[in-house]
Structure 1
């Protein structure tokens, strides 16, 4: 009789061990900690010389949208932003970055290229083309 009870206890122990193995549900985890705060370090971007860029450099997004219309692309990454406009023959990329902590991003860099082939073109000429579309 003692042997039967020991066998029953051993069987129950093996059954419980099987339930606690990899076939059961995952153990409860503590809730994830909140994301660490963003860095407070401000890196001021190098601003492109505005000569010949028709007042684009230094412009806030709202002014650029009024001037060129709806962008082909509007991409935000962190506190930076890229607006892309297209004319018949060229594509105009305007990069906006804040110049001070918590400031609104402004246009700091412009690139222009051909729609076909992507060769660089004069940004001022592309600005005029995009304005005229």
Structure 2
């Protein structure tokens, strides 16, 4: 699509969508949302960029190589956070029982490892959704079915 109106609106709205997605990720342990919902919102902003400006410019902004690295790093991050509890003699991903400080209830830095897990999940979901969208868009463009 080559619409100046779509590009102008997208340019104005994308930063706000991304900020809202980050907010949802960071406040998921306090309110509805979290890593999956926030990652989906952030990915939607990249998909909107791809739909507005084209697939090639969107890959320049968020290349496959970066998305693949993010996926690998976030999986490692998630597992390492889970292993912290194992090293402390508790079950995988145990939070309070492993002695991890939970902070003040209702504060942004609270919930022990949950905030860090939400961040990892947000990155993972965002990169996965964008890779899937890009793959389907390329397949549709090449005429493969």
What TM bracket, shorter-length normalisation? Answer: under 0.3
- Could you tell me the TM-score, scaled by structure 1's length? 0.19
Higher RCO (CA 8 Å, separation ≥ 6 residues): 2
Higher helix share: 2
Higher Cα Rg: structure 1 or 2?
Answer: 1
- Could you tell me the TM-score, scaled by structure 2's length? 0.18
Higher strand share: 1
